Amino acid sequence: MPVNIPETDQKRVVIVGAGFAGLKLARKLYKKGFQIVLVDRNNYHQFQPLFYQVATSGLEPSSISFPLRKVFQKIKNVYVRIAEVERILPEKKMIETSLGTMWYDYLVIATGADTNFFGNQGFQNYSIPMKSVSEALYLRNRILLNFEKAVTLRDREELRQLLSVLVVGGGPTGVEVCGALAEMKKFILPKDYPDLDFSLMEITLIEAGPHLLSGMSRQASDKAKKYLEELGIKVLLAHMVTSYDGKTVTLKNHDPIQTKTLIWAAGIQGQMPEGISSEKMERGNRIKVNRFNQVDGMDRIFALGDIAYMETPNYSKGHPQVAQVALQQAKILAENLTREQNSKPWMEFEYKDKGSMATVGRNRAVVDLPFIRFSGSLAWLTWMFVHLMSIVGVKNRLLIFINWLWKYFTFDQSLRLILKASGDKVQPNQAPPAKQEDQCKT
Q: For residue 432, what is the enclosing H or E element?
A: none
> Are 131 and 271 a contacting pair, CB within 8 Å?
no
Per DSSP bridges, beta strands 11-16 and 106-109 are: parallel
Q: For residue 305, what is the enclosing H or E element?
A: none
Q: CA separation (Å) from 27 to 30, 93, 284, 331?
A: 6, 23, 28, 10
> Are 267 and 113 a contacting pair, CB within 8 Å?
no
Catalytic residue among 176, 183, 202, 207: 176
**Alpha carbons 334 and 224: distance in angstroms, whole number:** 37
Query: Catalytic site residue 207?
Result: no
Helix (H, G, I), strand (E, B) or coil at 105: coil
**Alpha carbons 197 and 154: distance in angstroms, whole number:** 11
Helices within 131-207 (DSSP H only): 133-150, 156-163, 172-183, 189-192
**Closest C-alpha among 440, 415, 427 to residue 134:** 440
Cβ-based neighbours of 139, under 8 Å, separated by 6 or more: 55, 128, 130, 263
**Alpha carbons 134 and 142: distance in angstroms, whole number:** 12
Residues annotated as part of the active site: 176
